Structure 1
Amino acid sequence: MSEKNRDGKRTARERLAAEREKQKAAERRRRTLIVGASVVCVLGLAAVIGVVAANSGKEDSTDNAGPVVAPSGANGKDALAIPVGKESAKSTLTVWEDFRCPACKAFESTYRSTIHELEAAGKLKVEYHLATLIDGNMGGSGSRNAANAAACAQDAGKFAAYHDVLYENQPEETDDAYSKNAELIALAGKVDGLDTPAFRKCVEDGTHNSWVVKSNQAFQSGGFGGTPTVLFNGKNIYQDQTMTPAKFKQMVEEADQG
């Protein structure tokens, strides 16, 4: 075999090996809990913190926003948590989310089926806390309005299903589509029995807007790094880059067995 042919075959093998390694790396990244997402979901940068501070007075003020009305069944401190799952479950997942946050959508897309499976089995309960980080960073009111609509869905006993619909249909981060009540009501049509006059009035009146503001204030004072923040029995597991749905499921099942 000529030297040229040997070099050609060696180069082809090297390209194939490199491509295989790229595919393996991509698969590892896909399976990890930390997924690629927009930096605006993180409070770590000084510039972002500055924007949040600049907007906090406008976004979080409860002046003239009406009384704080917690959604039905909300619990925890100041009734700021929306519970999903059986109260008797031994494990609790605490999730701080923003319906406009791409990283939150990535988390939900990766872990949704596992979380629902564990909830249905009575092994896991989830407490959702709603934040409006993207409104503060990017401007607009989609985070708040979507959170209010989700709270209205909780009043109707449809929070979990509507929560999933909002993430499945999340607009681009720079598109404040969720600021439009008509869009939020249209999406309610994807949840059986949710689009009712009572739900529409709750959305259009912003019944839970002040509650959402209070929830976001709790998020800001909590010292969290950004959304989503995911705590399993009090431990932040979102920062664990080795976390996968299978590993999380094993952790819940081990806790359930005591």
Structure 2
Amino acid sequence: MSKAERTSAKTAREKIKEQQAAARARDKRKRITTYVTAGAVAVAAVGLGWWYAASSSRSEEAAGDLAPITVQADGAVVMAKQGVTAPVVDIYEDFQCPACKELERVSGQTFKNLAAEGKAKVVYHPITIFSQEPTKSNSVRAGAAARCVADGKQWMAFHELLFQNQPSETEAGFTPDQLKSWGKQAGVSAPDFDQCVTTGKNSDAQLSYSKKVIDAQKINHTPTVKLNGTEIDNSALFSPQELRQAITGAAK
């Protein structure tokens, strides 16, 4: 091979090496672009998931006045616009139950809004589900005191205060003095309210109603919320957006 041929072959090999290096560089850039794009998509997906979770669990704002509220003779409380009979949302709750307190905080306004919009008949069932002390006695005192309130709007205001001031499960609470104070705060106007609370006048009725409801509805935990007789899953119950969809969907 002549010198010229050797020089030509060397130049060809160098060009091939340069082309291969360039190809490797292009492949590397493509991989980096792919990784960055995939990462961006993953971050966007995580962000979207977080946004959806946050938005679906966000409590609703009060949309206006409450629907009419009627305290029933047995202790149940109905909230519904006149003529609205379905769908029926039954809320079985215990004033001493921490999960019930959380349900009221997260989804309580959704129930109120749906009733005010004429999209549901909401029925509250304050029961005593605890059998151990001090939770049982706490629950009975709170439930019995709520039965001392005959006015619907006053009952709802008292209902909210009971959950806001729920005592620890390990200590005695809902004392008569506290209950009477919250009654005043709720605007309870019944002249015999203080005496009713002090004497525990409705304690037996609270326990009797609780047993009747627990047995009839097979309640083994609170809160239990039923839509037209079927229990709503917790995943929807504590997600105001999903809860609204479930209830309005039952009306179609």
Range into which the TM-score falls when normalised by the shorter chain: 0.5 to 0.7
Indicate which of 184, 193, 198 corresponds to 1:204: 198
Equivalent residue, structure 2, for 1:92: 88
Question: Residue 252 of structure 1: CA displacement?
Answer: 3.0
Sort the Cα spacing of 1:253 and 1:242 in 2 relative to 1 into closer, same or farther, 3 A: closer
Equivalent residue, structure 2, for 1:160: 156
Equivalent residue, structure 2, for 1:249: 244
Equivalent residue, structure 2, for 1:229: 224
**Aligned ranges 1:1-258 → 2 under 5 Å:** 28=53, 73-74=71-72, 79-89=74-84, 90-134=86-130, 136-139=131-134, 141-153=137-149, 155-157=150-152, 158-178=154-174, 180-192=175-187, 194=188, 196-221=190-215, 222-237=217-232, 239-243=233-237, 244-256=239-251, 258=252
Count of residue correspondences: 196
Question: Residue 99 of structure 1: CA displacement?
Answer: 0.5
**Residue segments in structure 1 that go unaligned for 5+ positions in a row:** 1-13, 33-71
Check conservation: 1:82, 1:128, Cα contact below 8 A.
yes
Q: Which runs of at least 4 in structure 1 moved beyond 6 Å after TM superposition?
A: 24-27
Between 1 and 2, higher relative CO (CA 8 Å, sep ≥ 6) is seen in 1
Percent same amino acid among aligned pairs? 27
Larger radius of gyration: 2
- Aligned equivalents of 2:112, 2:163: Cα separation in 1: 15
Question: Residue 169 of structure 1: CA displacement?
Answer: 1.5
Equivalent residue, structure 1, for 2:30: none
- Aligned equivalents of 1:195, 1:176: Cα separation in 2: 27
Q: For 1:93, what is the secondary structure of its paired residue?
A: strand
Q: Which residue identity is paired with 2:248? A: E
- Aligned equivalents of 1:195, 1:175: Cα separation in 2: 30
Sort the Cα spacing of 1:143 and 1:26 in 2 relative to 1 into closer, same or farther, 3 A: farther
Which 10-residue stretch deviates more, 197-206 or 180-189?
A: 197-206
- Aligned equivalents of 2:185, 2:157: Cα separation in 1: 9
Check conservation: 1:149, 1:203, Cα contact below 8 A.
yes
Sort the Cα spacing of 1:29 and 1:216 in 2 relative to 1 into closer, same or farther, 3 A: farther
**Residue segments in structure 2 that go unaligned for 5+ positions in a row:** 1-38, 58-69
Check conservation: 1:91, 1:233, Cα contact below 8 A.
yes
- Aligned equivalents of 1:223, 1:98: Cα separation in 2: 15
TM-score by length of 1: 0.65
Q: Which residue identity is paired with 1:199? A: F
Q: Quote the RMSD (CA, aligned, Å).
A: 3.2
- Aligned equivalents of 1:176, 1:29: Cα separation in 2: 35
List per-residue Cα deviations over 1:70-90 (Å, max 9, x = no partner). Answer: xx8416xxx352212235222
- Aligned equivalents of 1:30, 1:138: Cα separation in 2: 38
Sort the Cα spacing of 1:118 and 1:92 in 2 relative to 1 into closer, same or farther, 3 A: same
Q: Which residue identity is paired with 1:145? A: R
